[in-house]
Amino acid sequence: MSQKLDLELISLTKRYGATVAVDAISYHFNAGTYACLLGPSGCGKSSTLRMIAGHENVSDGSITLGGRDISHLPPAKRGTAMMFQNYALFPHLSVLDNVAFSLRMQGVETAARHARAKEMLELVDMTALADRLPAQLSGGQQQRAALARALITKPDVLLLDEPLSALDPFLRIRMRAELKKLQRELGITFVHVTHGQDEALALADEIVVMNDAKIEQAGKTRSVFEAPKSAFVARFLGSHNVVSMPDGMVAIRSDALQVTSTDTAKLPGTITNIEYQGTHVALTAVVRGEQEVTALLSDKDFFGDPKDLGEAIGLDWEAEAAHALAS
Ligand code: ADP
Ligand code: MG
Protein backbone atom coordinates (compact mmCIF):
# COMPACT_ATOMS: atom_id res chain seq x y z
CA MET A 1 0.00 0.00 0.00
CA SER A 2 2.98 2.32 0.41
CA GLN A 3 4.09 2.42 -3.23
CA LYS A 4 2.07 4.14 -5.91
CA LEU A 5 1.32 1.50 -8.52
CA ASP A 6 -0.62 2.30 -11.67
CA LEU A 7 -2.82 -0.42 -13.15
CA GLU A 8 -2.79 -0.78 -16.91
CA LEU A 9 -4.93 -2.84 -19.27
CA ILE A 10 -3.31 -3.36 -22.66
CA SER A 11 -5.50 -4.70 -25.48
CA LEU A 12 -7.13 -6.93 -22.90
CA THR A 13 -9.35 -9.55 -24.47
CA LYS A 14 -11.60 -12.32 -23.15
CA ARG A 15 -13.18 -14.95 -25.33
CA TYR A 16 -15.49 -17.70 -24.15
CA GLY A 17 -15.57 -20.01 -27.16
CA ALA A 18 -17.05 -17.91 -29.97
CA THR A 19 -18.22 -15.13 -27.61
CA VAL A 20 -15.94 -12.10 -27.37
CA ALA A 21 -16.79 -10.79 -23.88
CA VAL A 22 -13.99 -8.20 -23.74
CA ASP A 23 -12.60 -6.90 -27.03
CA ALA A 24 -9.05 -5.50 -26.86
CA ILE A 25 -9.67 -2.81 -24.24
CA SER A 26 -6.87 -0.54 -23.08
CA TYR A 27 -6.94 1.78 -20.08
CA HIS A 28 -4.50 3.32 -17.63
CA PHE A 29 -5.72 3.62 -14.02
CA ASN A 30 -3.57 6.01 -12.02
CA ALA A 31 -2.74 4.73 -8.53
CA GLY A 32 -5.20 5.93 -5.92
CA THR A 33 -8.05 6.46 -8.36
CA TYR A 34 -11.65 5.50 -7.63
CA ALA A 35 -12.71 4.14 -11.02
CA CYS A 36 -16.08 2.76 -12.05
CA LEU A 37 -16.64 0.38 -14.94
CA LEU A 38 -20.14 1.29 -16.04
CA GLY A 39 -22.30 -0.38 -18.64
CA PRO A 40 -25.38 -2.52 -19.26
CA SER A 41 -25.62 -6.17 -18.30
CA GLY A 42 -23.48 -8.41 -20.52
CA CYS A 43 -21.10 -5.69 -21.77
CA GLY A 44 -18.04 -7.39 -20.25
CA LYS A 45 -17.54 -5.60 -16.91
CA SER A 46 -17.28 -8.68 -14.69
CA SER A 47 -15.07 -10.51 -17.18
CA THR A 48 -12.70 -7.52 -17.15
CA LEU A 49 -12.64 -7.44 -13.35
CA ARG A 50 -12.13 -11.20 -13.05
CA MET A 51 -9.18 -11.06 -15.45
CA ILE A 52 -7.59 -8.29 -13.36
CA ALA A 53 -8.17 -10.37 -10.22
CA GLY A 54 -6.79 -13.52 -11.83
CA HIS A 55 -10.04 -15.48 -11.48
CA GLU A 56 -10.30 -15.73 -15.25
CA ASN A 57 -7.59 -16.37 -17.84
CA VAL A 58 -6.60 -13.59 -20.22
CA SER A 59 -7.32 -14.62 -23.83
CA ASP A 60 -5.15 -11.85 -25.31
CA GLY A 61 -3.38 -8.69 -24.25
CA SER A 62 -2.02 -8.01 -20.78
CA ILE A 63 -2.44 -6.43 -17.37
CA THR A 64 0.35 -4.60 -15.58
CA LEU A 65 0.52 -3.22 -12.05
CA GLY A 66 3.36 -0.81 -11.36
CA GLY A 67 4.87 -1.88 -14.69
CA ARG A 68 4.96 -5.56 -13.67
CA ASP A 69 3.07 -7.96 -15.92
CA ILE A 70 0.58 -9.71 -13.62
CA SER A 71 -1.53 -11.28 -16.41
CA HIS A 72 -0.60 -14.83 -15.55
CA LEU A 73 0.10 -14.66 -11.81
CA PRO A 74 -2.13 -16.47 -9.31
CA PRO A 75 -4.67 -14.12 -7.62
CA ALA A 76 -2.83 -13.98 -4.29
CA LYS A 77 0.42 -12.86 -5.96
CA ARG A 78 -0.97 -9.89 -7.92
CA GLY A 79 -1.40 -7.16 -5.35
CA THR A 80 -5.14 -7.14 -6.06
CA ALA A 81 -8.09 -8.26 -3.95
CA MET A 82 -11.66 -8.86 -4.98
CA MET A 83 -14.91 -8.23 -3.19
CA PHE A 84 -17.74 -10.28 -4.65
CA GLN A 85 -21.32 -9.26 -5.29
CA ASN A 86 -22.77 -11.81 -2.81
CA TYR A 87 -19.83 -11.28 -0.38
CA ALA A 88 -19.05 -15.04 -0.39
CA LEU A 89 -18.48 -15.18 3.36
CA PHE A 90 -17.91 -18.65 4.86
CA PRO A 91 -21.12 -19.39 6.80
CA HIS A 92 -19.48 -21.61 9.42
CA LEU A 93 -16.70 -19.15 10.30
CA SER A 94 -17.00 -16.18 12.66
CA VAL A 95 -16.54 -12.70 11.24
CA LEU A 96 -13.04 -12.62 12.74
CA ASP A 97 -12.05 -15.91 11.11
CA ASN A 98 -13.60 -14.88 7.79
CA VAL A 99 -11.49 -11.73 7.82
CA ALA A 100 -8.37 -13.64 8.87
CA PHE A 101 -8.92 -16.39 6.29
CA SER A 102 -6.36 -15.42 3.66
CA LEU A 103 -3.69 -14.97 6.35
CA ARG A 104 -4.48 -18.48 7.59
CA MET A 105 -3.93 -19.73 4.02
CA GLN A 106 -0.56 -17.97 4.06
CA GLY A 107 0.35 -19.85 7.26
CA VAL A 108 0.27 -16.82 9.58
CA GLU A 109 -0.13 -18.06 13.17
CA THR A 110 -3.41 -17.55 15.04
CA ALA A 111 -2.53 -14.69 17.39
CA ALA A 112 -0.90 -12.62 14.63
CA ARG A 113 -3.69 -13.13 12.11
CA HIS A 114 -6.38 -12.37 14.67
CA ALA A 115 -4.56 -9.16 15.62
CA ARG A 116 -4.51 -8.09 11.94
CA ALA A 117 -8.15 -9.12 11.47
CA LYS A 118 -9.10 -6.96 14.47
CA GLU A 119 -7.34 -3.97 12.91
CA MET A 120 -9.34 -4.52 9.72
CA LEU A 121 -12.61 -4.84 11.65
CA GLU A 122 -11.76 -1.61 13.43
CA LEU A 123 -11.31 0.03 10.02
CA VAL A 124 -14.82 -0.93 8.92
CA ASP A 125 -16.38 -0.30 12.34
CA MET A 126 -17.20 -3.96 13.03
CA THR A 127 -15.13 -4.65 16.16
CA ALA A 128 -18.18 -5.41 18.31
CA LEU A 129 -19.43 -8.10 15.90
CA ALA A 130 -16.19 -10.08 15.51
CA ASP A 131 -17.61 -13.27 17.05
CA ARG A 132 -20.83 -13.40 15.05
CA LEU A 133 -21.51 -15.78 12.18
CA PRO A 134 -22.38 -14.23 8.78
CA ALA A 135 -26.03 -15.31 9.13
CA GLN A 136 -26.25 -13.14 12.26
CA LEU A 137 -25.33 -9.99 10.33
CA SER A 138 -27.42 -7.49 8.37
CA GLY A 139 -26.65 -6.92 4.68
CA GLY A 140 -24.62 -3.81 5.42
CA GLN A 141 -22.64 -5.61 8.13
CA GLN A 142 -21.91 -8.54 5.81
CA GLN A 143 -20.62 -6.06 3.29
CA ARG A 144 -18.27 -4.52 5.83
CA ALA A 145 -17.00 -7.96 6.83
CA ALA A 146 -16.36 -8.78 3.16
CA LEU A 147 -14.50 -5.50 2.73
CA ALA A 148 -12.32 -6.19 5.77
CA ARG A 149 -11.60 -9.66 4.42
CA ALA A 150 -10.54 -8.29 1.04
CA LEU A 151 -8.37 -5.55 2.55
CA ILE A 152 -6.41 -7.73 4.99
CA THR A 153 -3.87 -8.68 2.32
CA LYS A 154 -3.03 -4.97 1.85
CA PRO A 155 -3.86 -4.90 -1.85
CA ASP A 156 -2.75 -2.07 -4.14
CA VAL A 157 -5.99 -2.46 -6.05
CA LEU A 158 -9.39 -3.41 -4.66
CA LEU A 159 -11.80 -4.86 -7.22
CA LEU A 160 -15.50 -4.62 -6.41
CA ASP A 161 -18.14 -6.32 -8.54
CA GLU A 162 -21.56 -4.68 -8.03
CA PRO A 163 -20.77 -4.37 -4.30
CA LEU A 164 -23.95 -2.47 -3.41
CA SER A 165 -26.53 -4.36 -5.45
CA ALA A 166 -27.61 -6.70 -2.63
CA LEU A 167 -28.54 -3.78 -0.38
CA ASP A 168 -31.85 -1.94 -0.13
CA PRO A 169 -31.84 1.57 -1.68
CA PHE A 170 -31.44 3.42 1.62
CA LEU A 171 -28.51 1.31 2.81
CA ARG A 172 -26.97 1.41 -0.66
CA ILE A 173 -26.58 5.17 -0.46
CA ARG A 174 -25.11 4.97 3.03
CA MET A 175 -22.65 2.22 2.13
CA ARG A 176 -21.57 4.01 -1.00
CA ALA A 177 -20.53 7.00 1.10
CA GLU A 178 -18.58 4.61 3.33
CA LEU A 179 -16.84 2.99 0.37
CA LYS A 180 -15.73 6.39 -0.86
CA LYS A 181 -14.48 7.38 2.59
CA LEU A 182 -12.57 4.12 2.95
CA GLN A 183 -10.94 4.54 -0.45
CA ARG A 184 -9.89 8.07 0.45
CA GLU A 185 -8.42 6.92 3.76
CA LEU A 186 -6.54 3.96 2.28
CA GLY A 187 -5.41 5.84 -0.84
CA ILE A 188 -5.44 2.64 -2.93
CA THR A 189 -7.03 2.14 -6.35
CA PHE A 190 -10.65 0.96 -6.36
CA VAL A 191 -12.09 -0.51 -9.55
CA HIS A 192 -15.82 -0.77 -8.98
CA VAL A 193 -18.18 -2.44 -11.44
CA THR A 194 -21.73 -1.16 -11.63
CA HIS A 195 -24.61 -0.83 -14.07
CA GLY A 196 -26.00 2.11 -12.09
CA GLN A 197 -25.10 5.53 -13.46
CA ASP A 198 -26.01 7.33 -10.22
CA GLU A 199 -23.66 5.05 -8.30
CA ALA A 200 -20.84 5.67 -10.78
CA LEU A 201 -21.35 9.43 -10.78
CA ALA A 202 -21.43 9.53 -6.97
CA LEU A 203 -18.27 7.49 -6.48
CA ALA A 204 -15.93 7.66 -9.41
CA ASP A 205 -13.01 9.98 -10.04
CA GLU A 206 -12.86 8.28 -13.42
CA ILE A 207 -15.53 6.47 -15.30
CA VAL A 208 -15.08 3.80 -17.98
CA VAL A 209 -18.29 3.36 -19.97
CA MET A 210 -18.42 -0.05 -21.64
CA ASN A 211 -20.73 -1.22 -24.38
CA ASP A 212 -20.66 -4.51 -26.20
CA ALA A 213 -17.20 -5.65 -25.02
CA LYS A 214 -15.53 -2.31 -25.79
CA ILE A 215 -14.80 0.96 -24.01
CA GLU A 216 -17.24 3.48 -25.42
CA GLN A 217 -15.84 6.48 -23.53
CA ALA A 218 -13.59 6.94 -20.50
CA GLY A 219 -12.06 9.72 -18.48
CA LYS A 220 -12.70 12.02 -15.56
CA THR A 221 -16.30 11.51 -14.44
CA ARG A 222 -17.35 15.09 -14.91
CA SER A 223 -15.73 15.38 -18.35
CA VAL A 224 -17.62 12.31 -19.55
CA PHE A 225 -20.91 13.55 -18.10
CA GLU A 226 -20.43 17.06 -19.49
CA ALA A 227 -19.48 15.90 -22.96
CA PRO A 228 -20.78 12.45 -23.88
CA LYS A 229 -19.39 11.49 -27.27
CA SER A 230 -22.05 9.05 -28.41
CA ALA A 231 -25.80 8.65 -28.12
CA PHE A 232 -25.17 5.47 -26.14
CA VAL A 233 -23.12 7.27 -23.48
CA ALA A 234 -25.55 10.19 -23.27
CA ARG A 235 -28.51 7.85 -22.83
CA PHE A 236 -26.75 5.53 -20.43
CA LEU A 237 -25.55 8.33 -18.16
CA GLY A 238 -29.09 9.67 -18.01
CA SER A 239 -30.13 13.30 -17.45
CA HIS A 240 -29.46 13.88 -21.16
CA ASN A 241 -31.72 14.14 -24.19
CA VAL A 242 -30.53 12.79 -27.49
CA VAL A 243 -32.14 14.88 -30.20
CA SER A 244 -31.69 14.74 -33.96
CA MET A 245 -31.38 18.23 -35.35
CA PRO A 246 -30.97 19.20 -39.01
CA ASP A 247 -27.15 19.19 -38.66
CA GLY A 248 -26.94 15.87 -36.80
CA MET A 249 -27.56 14.30 -33.40
CA VAL A 250 -26.87 16.28 -30.26
CA ALA A 251 -26.98 15.59 -26.51
CA ILE A 252 -28.57 18.23 -24.31
CA ARG A 253 -28.80 17.98 -20.57
CA SER A 254 -32.35 17.95 -19.20
CA ASP A 255 -31.51 20.80 -16.84
CA ALA A 256 -30.21 22.93 -19.74
CA LEU A 257 -33.57 22.99 -21.51
CA GLN A 258 -35.76 26.06 -21.17
CA VAL A 259 -39.50 25.89 -21.65
CA THR A 260 -41.16 28.80 -23.44
CA SER A 261 -44.61 29.50 -24.86
CA THR A 262 -43.26 30.94 -28.07
CA ASP A 263 -43.25 29.24 -31.43
CA THR A 264 -39.80 30.67 -32.24
CA ALA A 265 -38.13 28.06 -30.01
CA LYS A 266 -35.65 25.60 -31.52
CA LEU A 267 -38.00 22.70 -30.85
CA PRO A 268 -41.78 23.05 -30.69
CA GLY A 269 -43.47 20.25 -28.79
CA THR A 270 -46.50 19.03 -26.87
CA ILE A 271 -46.41 18.08 -23.19
CA THR A 272 -46.98 14.35 -22.64
CA ASN A 273 -45.96 13.98 -19.00
CA ILE A 274 -45.38 16.11 -15.91
CA GLU A 275 -43.60 14.45 -13.02
CA TYR A 276 -43.25 16.16 -9.65
CA GLN A 277 -39.88 15.27 -8.08
CA GLY A 278 -39.91 17.46 -4.98
CA THR A 279 -37.14 19.94 -5.70
CA HIS A 280 -37.72 19.65 -9.46
CA VAL A 281 -40.39 18.98 -12.01
CA ALA A 282 -39.60 16.76 -15.00
CA LEU A 283 -41.61 17.86 -17.98
CA THR A 284 -41.67 15.54 -20.98
CA ALA A 285 -42.74 16.69 -24.41
CA VAL A 286 -43.02 14.98 -27.73
CA VAL A 287 -41.23 16.93 -30.45
CA ARG A 288 -41.57 16.52 -34.22
CA GLY A 289 -44.40 14.11 -33.51
CA GLU A 290 -42.06 11.30 -32.47
CA GLN A 291 -39.11 12.06 -30.21
CA GLU A 292 -39.56 12.47 -26.46
CA VAL A 293 -37.53 15.14 -24.72
CA THR A 294 -37.41 15.80 -20.98
CA ALA A 295 -36.75 19.17 -19.37
CA LEU A 296 -35.85 19.27 -15.69
CA LEU A 297 -37.20 22.49 -14.21
CA SER A 298 -36.69 23.83 -10.72
CA ASP A 299 -39.93 23.77 -8.74
CA LYS A 300 -39.79 27.60 -8.70
CA ASP A 301 -39.55 27.85 -12.49
CA PHE A 302 -42.31 25.34 -13.09
CA PHE A 303 -44.81 26.61 -10.53
CA GLY A 304 -44.00 30.23 -11.46
CA ASP A 305 -45.53 29.47 -14.88
CA PRO A 306 -47.29 26.10 -14.61
CA LYS A 307 -48.10 24.10 -17.74
CA ASP A 308 -50.67 21.43 -18.46
CA LEU A 309 -50.67 18.08 -20.22
CA GLY A 310 -51.33 18.47 -23.92
CA GLU A 311 -50.17 22.11 -23.94
CA ALA A 312 -48.03 23.31 -26.85
CA ILE A 313 -44.63 24.62 -25.74
CA GLY A 314 -41.24 25.52 -27.16
CA LEU A 315 -37.93 24.08 -25.97
CA ASP A 316 -34.81 26.21 -26.16
CA TRP A 317 -31.19 25.95 -25.03
CA GLU A 318 -27.95 27.91 -25.12
CA ALA A 319 -25.84 26.91 -28.11
CA GLU A 320 -23.00 25.65 -25.88
CA ALA A 321 -25.38 23.28 -24.04
CA ALA A 322 -25.69 21.04 -27.10
CA HIS A 323 -22.94 18.49 -27.74
CA ALA A 324 -22.58 16.92 -31.15
CA LEU A 325 -22.67 13.11 -31.04
CA ALA A 326 -20.65 10.68 -33.12
CA SER A 327 -23.57 8.36 -33.78
P1 ADP B 1 -21.30 -7.91 -17.30
O2 ADP B 1 -20.57 -8.12 -16.01
O3 ADP B 1 -21.03 -6.57 -17.90
O4 ADP B 1 -22.77 -8.15 -17.15
P5 ADP B 1 -19.95 -10.31 -18.23
O6 ADP B 1 -18.50 -10.01 -18.23
O7 ADP B 1 -20.47 -11.11 -17.10
O8 ADP B 1 -20.78 -8.94 -18.39
O9 ADP B 1 -20.34 -11.05 -19.57
C10 ADP B 1 -19.94 -10.59 -20.85
C11 ADP B 1 -20.35 -11.62 -21.90
O12 ADP B 1 -19.65 -12.82 -21.71
C13 ADP B 1 -21.83 -11.98 -21.89
O14 ADP B 1 -22.25 -12.18 -23.20
C15 ADP B 1 -21.85 -13.27 -21.09
O16 ADP B 1 -22.94 -14.06 -21.46
C17 ADP B 1 -20.54 -13.90 -21.49
N18 ADP B 1 -19.96 -14.75 -20.41
C19 ADP B 1 -19.64 -14.35 -19.18
N20 ADP B 1 -19.11 -15.36 -18.47
C21 ADP B 1 -19.11 -16.44 -19.28
C22 ADP B 1 -18.68 -17.81 -19.14
N23 ADP B 1 -18.12 -18.25 -18.01
N24 ADP B 1 -18.83 -18.61 -20.21
C25 ADP B 1 -19.37 -18.16 -21.37
N26 ADP B 1 -19.79 -16.90 -21.57
C27 ADP B 1 -19.66 -16.04 -20.55
MG1 MG C 1 -21.35 -8.59 -14.08
CA of 84 to the centre of ligand 2 (A): 10
Ligand 1 atom closest to the Cα of residue 56 is 23
Q: What's the rounded mean pLDDT across residues 229-257?
A: 94
Residue type at position 109: E
Ligand 1 atom closest to the Cα of residue 50 is 6
Residue nearest to atom 15 of ligand 1 (CA): 42
Q: Is the pLDDT of residue 173 over 60?
A: yes
Ligand 1 atom closest to the Cα of residue 39 is 3
Query: In angstroms, how far apart are the furthest CA atoms of the chain?
Result: 78
Q: What's the rounded mean pLDDT across residues 286-298?
A: 92
Res. 88 pLDDT band, cuts 50 70 90: confident
Res. 3 pLDDT band, cuts 50 70 90: low
Distance CA 254, CA 274 (A): 14
Res. 167 pLDDT band, cuts 50 70 90: confident
Q: Which residue has the higher pLDDT, 27 or 261?
A: 27
Residue nearest to atom 25 of ligand 1 (CA): 16
Residue nearest to atom 5 of ligand 1 (CA): 44
Per-residue pLDDT, 34:
98
Output the average pLDDT for the chain.
Answer: 94
| pLDDT tens string 314-324 | 999 999 999 99
Pocket test for ligand 1, best of 16, 82, 165, 214 (most atoms within 8 A of CB): 16
CA of 47 to the centre of ligand 1 (A): 6
Per-residue pLDDT, 20:
98
Distance CA 41, CA 190 (A): 20
Q: Is the pLDDT of residue 85 over 80?
A: no
Pocket of ligand 1 (CB under 6 A): 16, 19, 21, 39, 41-47
Residue 39 contacts residue 195 (beta carbons within 8 Å)? yes
Per-residue pLDDT, 186:
94
For the whole model, what pTM was predicted? 0.93
Residue 264, phi then psi, degrees to nearest 5: -95, 0
Architecture of domain 239-324: Beta Barrel (2.40)
Per-residue pLDDT, 86:
72
Q: What's the rounded mean pLDDT across residues 78-107?
A: 92
**Cα 150 to Cα 54, 97, 160, distances in angstroms:** 14, 13, 10
Closest ligand, as measured to the CA of 165? 2
CATH of 7-226, one of 2.60.120.10, 3.40.50.300, 3.60.20.10, 3.40.190.10: 3.40.50.300
Q: Is the pLDDT of residue 193 over 90?
A: yes
Distance CA 213, CA 226 (A): 24
Tell me the domain boundaries of the chain.
7-226, 239-324
